[in-house]
A and B are shown apart, each in its own frame.
Chain A
Amino acid sequence: MANPLISELKRAFTGWFIPYRFNLERWAYALQRISGIAVTGYFLAHIVETGNVVGGLTAWSPTSTAMASDVWAATFRFLDNPLFDTGLIVIGFMLSFHTINGIRLTLTEFGLLQGKPSRPDFPYEPKSFSKAQRALFWVSILFAAGTAVYAFHVLFGA
Chain B
Amino acid sequence: MLLHYVTGLGIVVVGFVHLFTIFLTGSYLQNLSFYGGPYSVLAVYRNLILVSTLELLLLFVDYHALNGIRVILIEFHQGTTWERGVSWILTVAGILLLIYGTRTILLANLLV
Contacts and interface: CB of A to CB of B under 8 A. Distances in A.
Contacts of A19: none
| Interface bin, chain A | 20 to 34
A102 B69 CA distance: 15
Interface string A33-68: 100110110011001001101110001001111001
A78 to B, nearest CB: 14
Contact of B107 (A44, A54, A109): A54
A44 B42 CA distance: 21
| Interface bin, chain B | 35 or more
Contact of B104 (A13, A51, A64, A73): A51
Given A47-B104, A64-B112, A69-B35, A154 B75 contact: no
B17 interface: no
A51 B103 contact: yes
Contact of A43 (B1, B23, B65, B108): B65
A-B pairs, top 4 by smallest CB distance, nearest first, are: A54-B107, A62-B110, A12-B76, A40-B65
Interface of B: 1, 5, 8-9, 12, 15, 23, 28, 32, 34-35, 41-42, 58, 61-62, 65-66, 68-69, 72, 75-77, 82, 97, 100-101, 103-104, 107-108, 110-112
